[in-house]
Amino acid sequence: MRYCGVLLRDALFSAALLLVVAIPAQAKIQLLASLKPLALIAQEVAGDQADVGTLLPVSASPHDYPLKMSDHKRLRSADLVLWIGPEMESFLARPLANLKPQQVMTAYQLEGLYWPEADEADHHHHHQNHSAHEGKDPHIWLDPRNAALIAQALAERLAQLQPDSAQQFRANAQRFSTLLQQLDEQLMQQLTPVKNRGFAVYHEGYGHFVGRYGLHQVAYVTYIPERRPGAKHLQELRGVLAKEGECLFMEPYYKMDAMEEMAASLDLRVGLLDPIGGQQVSSYQQLLEQLGQGFLTCLADGRNG
């Protein structure tokens, strides 16, 4: 009898241990974000309760990236993969379909996301190559209100993975959201004076920022960064910019002599925007502030006003 009692006690003890193993308070959650902006948001929510990794290097196009074997391995071993969705990182759709649903968080599908005004798209209706950005603009993190939504939703997912830290995750997301409200107001104030200055961006990826702060984008050079525009598009672009452009924004990893020549011949200033945030960007706020500064610097001392 005594023997059985010990066995039973051992069995209960083992069961308790198993429960603890399923919810390890001290083991860090392995969180893998597809893109740097998502990793920056995740870092705010996870604090030091998770190891936050970024799948893509900052220099890679988020629309088209050849996954390596090691990338596949990282995806499989992550507790949670945070990505935008097939509208952005189409190359992840297949590998992520092989993971368990609880391993994947798709930001594009979150309820309550903010989208740029529909009339924002009117400027661009004559462009046909929409395959990569089918539907709504997937660069959702460029509106800080969306970053707050992603943070809140992520806090709930992390809370499921590690219930012991649930309160901490929610508090982190709340604190981050409050900071984002201030950042949003600050950007709104800073950018108001340059609202009417016409410009073109390098790739059509800034709709969320442009829409949120009411900026006057008149054109873009290319629909996705790695695709070079055709002659017809460049001609249209030149026409639009000649009429109402003050500034042309390029991106750090794409150099195009034709654009520099066009800017010079039309007397446009050339600015630089990075929607992903370079190596030196270490927080989401910094990423958006830098973007705001990028717009401001180029648009500020306008020849028309």
Distance CA 121, CA 170 (A): 35
Residue whose C-beta lies closest to Zn ion: 205
Cβ 150 to Zn ion shortest distance, Å: 17
Distance CA 16, CA 68 (A): 40
Distance CA 165, CA 159 (A): 6
Cβ 99 to Zn ion shortest distance, Å: 24
- Mark the segment that binds Zn ion (CB under 5 A) among 4-12, 198-206, 215-223, 283-291: 198-206
**CB nearer Zn ion, residue 255 or residue 303:** 255
**CB nearer Zn ion, residue 157 or residue 208:** 208
**CB nearer Zn ion, residue 169 or residue 220:** 220
Cβ 84 to Zn ion shortest distance, Å: 10
**CB nearer Zn ion, residue 116 or residue 205:** 205
Query: Which residues sit opposite 222 in a β-bridge?
Result: 203
Distance CA 52, CA 167 (A): 19
- Mark the segment that binds Zn ion (CB under 5 A) among 48-56, 94-102, 204-212, 231-239: 204-212
Cβ 272 to Zn ion shortest distance, Å: 16
- Among residues 15, 294, 243, which one has the least CA distance to residue 123? 243
Please report, as a single letter, which amino acid is at residue 43.
Q
Distance CA 206, CA 203 (A): 8
- Mark the segment that binds Zn ion (CB under 5 A) among 10-18, 143-151, 203-211, 279-287: 203-211
Q: Tokens standing for 252?
A: 């750090």
Cβ 138 to Zn ion shortest distance, Å: 7
Q: Of 86, 205, 277, 292, which lies in the binding site for Zn ion, with binding defined by CB under 5 A?
A: 205
Q: Tokens standing for 54?
A: 């970024």
Residue reference for tokens 């597809």:
34
User: Three-state DSSP class for 33?
Assistant: strand
Under rule CB under 5 A, residue 86 binds Zn ion: no
Q: Are 102 and 93 in contact (CB under 8 A)?
A: no
**CB nearer Zn ion, residue 85 or residue 169:** 85
Cα-Cα-Cα-Cα torsion 89, 93, 95, 100, nearest 10 degrees, comes to 120
The binding site for Zn ion (CB under 5 A) comprises 205
